Amino acid sequence: NVFGCHLDTLCHRENGTVPRFLDKCIRTVERRGLDVDGIYRVSGNLAVIQKLRHKADHEESLDLEDGQWEEVHVVTGALKLFLRELPEPLFPFASFDKFIAAIQETDYSQKVSFIKDLIGCLPLPNHDTMARLFRHLLKVIEHGEFNRMSVPSVSIVFGPTLLRPQIESPNFTVHMVFQTRIVELILNEFHKLFPSQ
């Protein structure tokens, strides 16, 4: 399976550091979705997303250019579902509290430095998948005049998907603000945080 599989298990099986399915989805969106209004914010047809998920789980050669996936919101929906279904989120549980603490640092350059250190300590599949995803999201934002997606709107969509505590706490609304702000900071400071990219 691809969906619901641990990131390191999946990458190990595929002999890489970025899941092929995620990479395929990103390439498809960059080919034909960058100018689509509300890309990543608009939901795709759930039945078709589930069909795509089933196909990804059971078939080696998945062709996203096949006509049945022409609705690009289905591809973005499947990518978000893939990230949501990781048993452990892209930002590992063990580092959740550290990221939340770092984003609350009042000195901005210190905050960036803390986040950079935390990203540098991530397992390679998490680090490389994060770099691949955020580089892509920056491309989406660059086309904002057409797709109406900005740093804040992308962060609201992805914050809770990429970071979540192992045990949902009563103050999850507070967490949500920080989750969004962490994604926002990574988008704004991408080239400092991922210098090799």
Domains assigned to the chain: 7-193 (1.10.555.10)
- Split the chain (197 residues) into runs of 10 and give each run's mean pLDDT: 98 98 98 98 98 94 94 98 98 96 98 98 98 99 98 97 88 85 99 92
- Residue-wise over 3-41: b if at least 16 C-beta within 10 A, else e? bebebeebbeeeeebbbbbbbbbbebbeeebbebeebbe
Which pLDDT value is given to residue 20? 97
Which pLDDT value is given to residue 170? 75
The Cα–Cα gap between 163 and 160 comes to 5
Which pLDDT value is given to residue 151? 99
- The secondary element (H helix, E strand) that includes residue 48 is helix 46-58
Which pLDDT value is given to residue 155? 98
State the DSSP code for 1. -
